[in-house]
Amino acid sequence: MNPSFSQIQPSIQQQSKNISQINNEEKLALHYYRNKEYEKAAELYEKLYKKSPTQYHYTYYMYCLLQIRDFKKAEKLAGKQIKKNPTHLKYHVDLGYIYQLAGKPALSKKEYDEAIRKLSPDAYQIKDLANAFYIRAQIEYAVETYLIGQKLLRGKHSFHFELANLYRVNGNYGEMIDEYLAELGDNPESMNRIQNRLQAVINEDLEGSISNYLWKALLKKSQRNPDNIEFSEMLLWFSIQKQDFEFALVQAKSLDRRFQENGQRVYELARLCISNMAYDQAIDAFNYIIKKGKEKPFYLSSVIGQLNARYLKIISGLFYQKSDLTMLEKDYITTVEAFGKTPETITMIRDLAHLQAFYLDKQDEAIEMLKSALKISYASPKTISECKIELADIFLFSGEVWEATLLYSQVEKAFKHEPIGHLAKFKNARLTYYIGEFEWAKAQLDVLKAATSKLIANDAMRLSLLIGDNLDADSAMNGLRLFSKADLLSFQNKDDLALKTLDSIYLISSYHTLFDDILFKKAGIKIKNKQYTEADSLLQQLVSNYPYEILADDALFMRAELQEIYFQNQNTAMELYQQLLLNYPGSLYTVEARKRFRRLRG
């Protein structure tokens, strides 16, 4: 006989009442818990657990009992859960933890060991138990759980990632690396995930010991497993992280030959070398591809790339001879004649013009070269604008100010909201600063402080500050006029006259707000003329005498670069990079300084 609706209605109403009562008690219990009134919370959670012995109620009730150190009730609660859920081994861990807190280490160990003894070949159970040990900070037991789990599952699940994470927590970085490499051997598709994990660890490796272990482990793995591409690729990846581009290139060439990649991997590495100023390795990489022949897909790109790397090596101020300039110009011209003036070669033409104008004193030829580039059909508007900016720079170099400002303005108008437009606007503002129109220049620079390009925004801010700090007094204004004149003379490679103009500022006053700027500008001129010892001395004066000025961190970084690149003094360079990190933590150079410090340390 089925009950009528009227017969079952009271029981439904009673259930609703009970649920409502439980909800209110849960809210109150949680309120007490959050306010750390654990005794009151424990009393309510005990009632809730008896009415509804869920994992949720158990967890909160157990936590409250441990907080009020009622180990007797906690022990009884954990024991009850063990009896109800014999395959849920995490409750043994809870009981062992209770004994541990109660000062009963023998009983604690017994429960932990019992949990591991009861493990079955069940991946979920193994992970659940290991996680329970991890939560209770029993890392060694968590490791043991996974190691026994590996044996029980007989290779079906390796737990390499889980073990690596535990070893990292425990500071056992060697074992961590071994697990990651074991995972890579078992599952090549996990390479990106492993690289991300290792990158995070390497970034925290201040002493370099982890990096050294990883390097040796990768070398050993790749030598013992020559047919395993993953270990070779990982070794290539890590050599790039270390910025050991020489080794990376050897590795990339080896992979290219082994897998007949037509130079793609080597080409990508060459571009990376350029972005990291490893120009010699970039040139070597491009030459390797060029030798493969004209029919190969990366041939033209590598010809252009090789010339670009040689060009960048020169304009970056690295070692070069006069013969390097003339040979590079000759190779540029030969390449342009061979491939024509096309959208593919237009950036090469722009670089050739810069080389001719600023390094070979051939401004007229450079101007004609760029004018012809502006007529190239199908070249992108952005590339054409880059050529216009270069042409404007050369006009300014030659003293044709109005031709320069006209071209800058054209690009600024065409790309008002894009980085290239911001660059043109900055150069136009700097031009007006050069010719002494300081207030107009500052107004334009202040707008550029919000530019999307961090580099342009930073340059604009610094030039704006320079002008703003020296606009008030007549003596300051006179000093600023002389300084901007020297700045323009230096841009035009009239360095002797620029240095004399800078020195004349000292005659205005025994103290001037420009004194740190003068030292920095003179150091830059000395570097341009390869007078590195004098430059280093000037930068040292700036850091010592003006440690709180805006240029102090720039000077310190530049000193470190001089010591590293030109003087080949790695120890001094490391000291200077470290000094920058300690004394100027907010500097724009901190990320790069940290990278270089780690690379030099090895």
DSSP assignments along 520-540, one per residue: HHHHHHHHHTT-HHHHHHHHH
pLDDT tens for 49-59 read 999 999 999 99
Q: Answer yes or no: do 530 and 600 share one domain.
A: yes
Model confidence at 4: pLDDT above 50 = no
Model confidence at 346: pLDDT above 50 = yes
- The full DSSP string for 25-41 is HHHHHHHHHHTT-HHHH
pLDDT tens for 125-152 read 999 999 999 999 999 999 999 999 999 9
Maximum distance among all Cα pairs of the chain, rounded to whole angstroms = 115
Range with the poorest average pLDDT among 72-86, 374-388, 462-476: 462-476
Judge whether 271 lies within some domain: no
pLDDT tens for 200-215 read 998 888 778 899 999 9
Q: Answer yes or no: do 387 and 448 share one domain.
A: yes
Q: Cα 375 vs. chain centroid, distance in angstroms?
A: 40
Q: Answer yes or no: do 523 and 602 share one domain.
A: yes
568: containing domain = 514-602
C-alpha distances in angstroms, 53 versus 1, 49, 58, 77, 386? 34, 4, 7, 11, 72
Under a CB-based contact definition with an 8 Å cutoff, are residues 444 and 422 in contact?
no
Q: Answer yes or no: do 461 and 387 share one domain.
A: yes
Q: What is the CATH number of the domain that holds 599?
A: 1.25.40.10
C-alpha distances in angstroms, 265 versus 121, 257, 572? 43, 10, 35
Confidence at 20, pLDDT banded by 50, 70, 90: low
Half-sphere exposure of 565 (CA within 13 A, CB side): 19
Can you state the angle between helices 474-491 and 419-434, rounded to 10 degrees? 120
Judge whether 125 lies within some domain: no
Judge whether 308 lies within some domain: no
What value does the mean pLDDT take over residues 211-226? 93
Q: Which pLDDT value is given to residue 52? A: 92
Q: Answer yes or no: do 600 and 521 share one domain.
A: yes
Judge whether 77 lies within some domain: no
Q: What is the DSSP letter of 514?
A: T
Q: Which pLDDT value is given to residue 13? A: 37
CA 522/CA 92 separation, integer angstroms: 73
**b/e for 420-456, b at 16 or more Cβ within 10 A?**
bbbbbbbbbbbbbbbeeebeebbebbeebeebebeeb
Burial (CB count within 10 angstroms: exposed 0-12, middle 13-18, buried 19+), residue 391:
buried
**Number of domains making up the chain:** 2
Copy the structure tokens of residue 574. 């490391």
What value does the mean pLDDT take over residues 311-326? 86
Q: Answer yes or no: do 602 and 518 share one domain.
A: yes
Q: Quote the pTM value.
A: 0.80
CB within 8 A of 389, min separation 6: which ones? 407, 408, 411, 420, 423, 424, 427
Judge whether 420 lies within some domain: yes
Output helix, strand, coil percentages for the chain, rounded to the nearest 5: 75, 0, 25
Model confidence at 108: pLDDT above 70 = yes
Copy the structure tokens of residue 125. 């159970």
Judge whether 330 lies within some domain: no
Under a CB-based contact definition with an 8 Å cutoff, are residues 329 and 320 in contact?
no
CA 299/CA 301 separation, integer angstroms: 6
Under a CB-based contact definition with an 8 Å cutoff, are residues 92 and 115 in contact?
yes
Q: Which pLDDT value is given to residue 226? A: 87
pLDDT tens for 291-309 read 999 999 999 999 999 999 9
Report the 10 Å Cβ neighbour count for 16.
10
**b/e for 473-494, b at 16 or more Cβ within 10 A?**
eeebebbbebbbbbbbbbbbee
Q: What is the DSSP letter of 189?
A: G
Q: Answer yes or no: do 526 and 591 share one domain.
A: yes
Judge whether 447 lies within some domain: yes
What value does the mean pLDDT take over residues 99-106? 97
CA 398/CA 358 separation, integer angstroms: 10
Judge whether 459 lies within some domain: yes
What value does the mean pLDDT take over residues 495-518? 90
Q: Which pLDDT value is given to residue 170? A: 93
Q: Answer yes or no: do 529 and 596 share one domain.
A: yes
Q: Which of 468, 503, 537 is the last residue of a domain?
A: 468
What value does the mean pLDDT take over residues 155-170? 94
Helix (H) or strand (E) holding 292: none
Q: Which of 448, 468, 488 is the last residue of a domain?
A: 468
